[in-house]
Amino acid sequence: MYVAVKGGETAILNAGTLLAQARRGDPAVSEVSVAQIAGQLRLGVARVMAEGSLYDEELAALALKQAAGDQVEAIFLLRAYRTTLPRFGYSQPLDTARMAVRRRISATFKELPGGQVLGPTYDYTQRLLDFSLLAGGEAPVVAEAAQPLPEHLPRGIDLLGEEGLIEPELPPPGDPAPADLSREPLSFPAGRATRLQNLARGDEGFLLALGYSTQRGYSHTHPFAGEIRMGEVALEVVPEELGFAIQIGEITVTECQMVNQFAGSSTTPPQFTRGYGLAFGEAERKTMAMALVDRALRCAELGEEPAAPAQQAEFVLSHSDNVEAGGFVQHLKLPHYVDFQSELELVRRMRAAIASAQPAQEQTA
Amino acid sequence: MTQLCDPAQRRHWLGVLAQASPVELEQHLARRALPALHWLRRPETGLMMVRGRAGGTGAQFNLGEVSVTRCAVQDDAGRLGVGYVRGRVGRHAELVALFDLLLQDDIQRADLLPALIEPLAARQRAARATAGAQAAATRVEFFTLARGD
Amino acid sequence: MNAPLLPGFAQPEDHAQRVFRLLLDALARPGRVQTLPFEFAAPAPLAPATGAAALALLDYETPVWLQSADSAPWLRFHAGCPLVDDPARARFALIDDAGAMPPLSAFAQGEPEYPDRSATLLIQVAGFAPHASTERGPTLRGPIWSGPGIADEVRLGVVGLPDGFWRDWQRNAGHFPLGVDLLLVAGAQVVGLPRTTTVREA
C-alpha cells in the first residue's frame, strides 16, 4: 500500500536539475550529438530500438543521450514515446530472403552458395583495447571485391529443406494475421507468434542467460547456427487508398536460424527442428539467444517434457520484458511507510510475546 | 480511383522516391511548375507494426514498430498523390506525394521518369552494389593446405 | 478521373478529440441532444455528424458496414477502415436510410465474456423533437427514455425511424448485457442510445 506524501516538490525539481547537470558532464568537454550517437554507437542504438520495439535511429539515439547511456532507461523512454503516436497499420511480412546482405555465416555448411561473408564483426578482433581510438583516427579505407555479392543470397538452411532433412516452415492455411502483444495482453497458452514478438522485444541479458542455460543442459536441444544474416530489408506497406504494396524505405535486421536435433517418431522420419531469432538492427547475440529460447519454448508441440526454465513459456514470457521488470523491481523505492510500520508493530508484538513467555518456560523446564 | 497509372510503375517510383534524400527531391522540385492542388492530408507521423515470419518463411508474427510519415495531396482533376516514408521527416513525405501527383500526368511522367526517377534508381543501385562489394571482400576463400605425405 | 475527395478534419487532433468527447457525452447522457461544435462537410449520404463521428472512431482495426457505398472512398482514405459486407462482422455500421436498415439483431451482439465486442450503429434520422409539441398533436409527444445517465426520465421524439423500431429496441434490451449501442444522427446533432437505456412509447 502506498500513501500520498507531500512536500517533495522542491527536492524533486532540484533532483531533476542535478540529473541534467550530471548527464551533461564536464562543460569543458564538447557535448555529444544525437547524430554522433546514432552513427558511432550504432549497436547500443540497435538494442534500444529492438527492445524499445520501435525502429527509429534518431529517437533511439536521443533516448540514449537523455538516459546518459542507460539502455534500459532509454528503452523505457522509447516505449513511452511510442504510445503518443497513432498506429497506421501493419507492414507486409519482411522478406529476409531478399535481404541486401552485409554479413552471412553458417556454422553447419562451410561451402554454402554465396560463401561465408564475415561483414563488420567483432568475432576475429583480439579483444585488446585499441588505444589509438583515444587519439581519434582517420576513416579506414575499405576493400571492395571486384564483384558485389549476388543481390539475394539463398538461405543456407534451405539446403536441408531440399532433402526434407529439416521440418518445413510454411504459413498456416490462409496465412492469418498474428496476435499482437501491443494490442492484447499476454495470456497462456501463448502461440508461437506471441512468443516470438515477446522474445523480439525481450531483454537481451535475460534471453542470453536462458539461451546459455539450454546449452548447459537445462533442456536438450543440441543447437547449430544454421545461418546468421544481417543487412537491409525492404519495408513494404499497403496503403488503404492505393490497395497495393509500396516500399517506404528499408530497415536493418539480424536473423538467426538455429538447427536443432530431433529424434523423429513412428510417423515422422528423423528430421532437424528449428529455432528462430529476428531483431531490429545489428543484434547477433540477441537473435542467437532468441533462437535458442524459441526452440526451447516449442517443447510442447515437439513432444518434449517442459522441465527446464527456458521451456516454461509462462516463466519466460512473463519475465522477459525489462520495462515491466524494471518497473516492478524499482517500485520498491516508493514509500511503503504504512506497510512497513504495520510489519514493525507485528514484529515488536511477537518479540514481546516471546519475551514474556520465556521466564515461564524456564520455570517449567 | 487513383489507379489510372500502371500500379507496377507507380509502385516503382514511390519506392525510389521514398529511398531518395529529401534534399535531392527538393532541388528537382524547384525546377517544376506545380498544378493547383490542395493537401488532403498534411504530413502526419505515426507507427506501422513490422511483421516477420517464423523461420523467415512460416507463420507471421509482429516484430516491432517503425516510425512512418504520410501525407496526400490532390489536384483539381481528383488525382491523389500519396507520400509514405519511413521516419519522421514531414517534408520528405510531402515531396514524395508531390512527385507522385506529377508522375500521374502523362506529359510530366514522360519527362520525370528519365530526368528524376531513373537517375535516382541508378544511384540507389550503385550504393547497394558498393555495400555488396565491401561485404564480398569479407567473404572467406577456403583453401586446403597440402599435407606433407 | 474521380471527383476530388473531401478533406478530413481541418485540425486533425483537436477536432478528433472534441468529437470523441461529444460522443462520450452522448452515450453518458442518453436522450440529450449534442451538437457538433464546428462546421464539417462529409460526403453524401453522410450527415456532418456521422462523418465527424466516423473520423473520430474508425481506424484500421474497426471493420465497418456501410448501408450505402457512396462514402467508401472517403472513409477508406481518411479512416483506413476495412469495409465488410456482413453486418455481423462489423464493429461499426453507418446507416443513412433507417427505413431500409436490417434488424438490430443482424449486427454483432458481443460475447458473454466480452459484451463490448458488439457493434455501434450510427443511424441517420430526420430530426429530434426534444419537447412534447402540443401544436403537432399527440403523435409527436415523444417516447419516454430512462436508465443510467438520465435523471428520472426524459421525453425525446425521433423523427424518421421506421415503424416497429422501438419494439426492435426492446428486443435488443432483452439480450442484456449483449446487444448493440446506437448513435442517432440528424445533421450536426447526435443523441446516444446505449443498450442500457429503456424507451417507452407514450
List all residues 6 or more positions away from A297 whose beta carbon is below 8 Å from its beta carbon. Answer: A195, A310, A311, A313, A316
Domains held by chain A: number:
2
Are A67 and A169 in a shared domain?
A: no
User: Are A321 and A208 part of one and the same domain?
Assistant: yes
- Phi/psi at A63 (nearest 5 deg)? -60, -40
Q: How confident is the model at residue B21 (pLDDT cuts 50, 70, 90)?
A: very high
Q: How far apart are CA C51 and CA C41, in angstroms?
A: 8
Helical ranges in A111-257 per DSSP H: 132-135, 158-162, 192-200, 204-215
- The mean pLDDT value for A196-206 works out to 98
- With cell 430512462, the residue in question is C146
* B1 has a pLDDT exceeding 50: no
Tallying the residues shown for chain A, one arrives at: 365
Same domain, A104 and A176: yes
Q: B147 pLDDT band (50/70/90 cuts)?
A: low
Same domain, residue pair A77 and A170: no
Same domain, A71 and A102: no
Task: State whether residue B48 sits within 8 Å of chain A by CB.
Answer: yes
Mutate to test the interface with A, among C20, C58, C62, C76 (most CBs of A within 10 A): C76
Confidence label for A222 from pLDDT (cuts 50, 70 and 90): confident
Q: Write phi, then psi, for C145 (nearest 5 degrees).
A: -100, 140
**Is there a contact between B96 and A246 (Cβ–Cβ < 8 Å)?**
no
Domains in chain C: ranges and CATH: 12-200 (3.40.50.11310)
Give the pLDDT mean for C124-137. 70
The residues near A217 (Cβ < 8 Å, ≥ 6 apart) are none
* A64 neighbors A304 (Cβ within 8 angstroms): no
Answer yes or no: is pLDDT of B103 > 60.
yes
Average pLDDT over residues C6-21: 94
C-alpha cell at A223: 543447437
Question: How far off is chain C from B90, nearest CA to CA, in Å?
Answer: 16
* Residues of chain A numbered 248-307 and touching chain B (CB < 8 Å): 248-251, 253, 255, 257, 274, 276, 278-280
Check pLDDT > 90 for residue A114: no
- In this prediction, residues A165-184 reach a mean pLDDT of 92
Residue owning grid cell 523505492:
A333
Q: What would the mean pLDDT of C22-47 be, rounded to a whole number?
A: 96
Tell whether the model's pLDDT for residue C1 goes beyond 50.
no
- Which residue, among C119, C121, C91, C109, has the nearest Cα to C173 in the 3D structure? C109
Same domain, A73 and A102: no
Select the more confidently predicted residue: A126 or C136: A126
Question: Which residues, in sequence order, are CB contacts of A341 under 8 Å at separation 6+?
Answer: none
Residue C132 predicted with pLDDT over 70: no
Among B7, B56, B59, whose Cβ lies nearest the Cβ of A97? B56
In this structure, are A180 and A262 located in the same domain? yes
Residues 6+ apart with CB under 8 A from A46: A60, A252, A279, A280, A281, A282, A283
Task: Tell me what pLDDT residue A219 has.
Answer: 87
In C, which residues are within 8 Å of A88 by CB distance? 60, 80
What pLDDT does residue A131 have?
Answer: 86
Contact residues, chain A, for C59 at CB < 8 Å:
86-87
- A23 vs C131: which has the higher pLDDT: A23
Residue A365 is predicted with a pLDDT of 52
The owner of cell 534518431 is A58
Pick the last residue of a domain from A21, A52, A82: A82
- pLDDT surpassing 60 at residue A89: yes
Domain encompassing residue A56:
9-82
For residue A112, being part of any structural domain is answered with yes
Mean pLDDT of all residues in chain A? 92
Q: Which of A26-30, A218-222, C97-101, C173-177 has the lowest mean pLDDT?
A: A218-222
Does residue A354 sit within a domain?
no
Asked if A204 and A47 touch (Cβ cutoff 8 Å), the reply is yes
C80 and chain A: CB distance < 8 Å anywhere?
yes
Domain-located, residue A361: no
Average pLDDT over residues C91-106: 95
Residues in chain B within 8 Å Cβ distance of A274: 55
In this model, does residue C85 exceed pLDDT 90?
yes
Q: Do A92 and B51 touch (CB under 8 A)?
A: yes
Q: Tell me, yes or no, whether A45 lies in a domain.
A: yes
Nearest CA in chain C to A88: C60
Q: Where in chain B are the domains?
A: 7-136
Same domain, A203 and A108: yes
* Residue A107: burial class (beta carbons within 10 Å; 0-12, 13-18, 19+): middle
Residue A349, in any domain of the structure: no
- Return the H-helix or E-strand segment holding B67: strand B60-75
Instruction: Report the alpha-carbon distance of residue C58 to residue C79 in Å, rounded.
Output: 6
The residue behind cell 546514432 is A38
> For residue A111, what pLDDT is reported?
82
pLDDT at B2: 43
State mean pLDDT over A169-191. 93
Whether A228 and A143 map to the same domain: the answer is yes
How many Cα atoms are found within 13 Å in the side-chain-facing hemisphere of C28?
Answer: 6
Sequence-separated (6 or more) residues with CB below 8 Å from residue A132: none
Please check whether residue A352 lies inside any domain of the structure.
Answer: no
**What per-residue confidence (pLDDT) applies to A151?**
84
Across the interface, whether the CB atoms of C5 and B78 are under 8 A apart is answered yes
Average pLDDT over every residue of B100-124: 95
Contact partners for chain B, using 3 or more CB pairs closer than 8 A, are A, C
Looking at residue B84, its pLDDT comes to 98
d(CA C9, CA B72): 14
- Of A77-86, A161-170, B116-125, C41-50, the range with the lowest mean pLDDT is A161-170
> What pLDDT is attached to residue A266?
75
A155 lies in the same domain as A297: yes
Q: Using CB atoms, which residue from B50, B59, B84 is nearest to A55?
A: B50
How much of chain A exceeds pLDDT 70, in percent? 96
Report the alpha-carbon distance of residue C105 to residue A284 in Å, rounded.
54
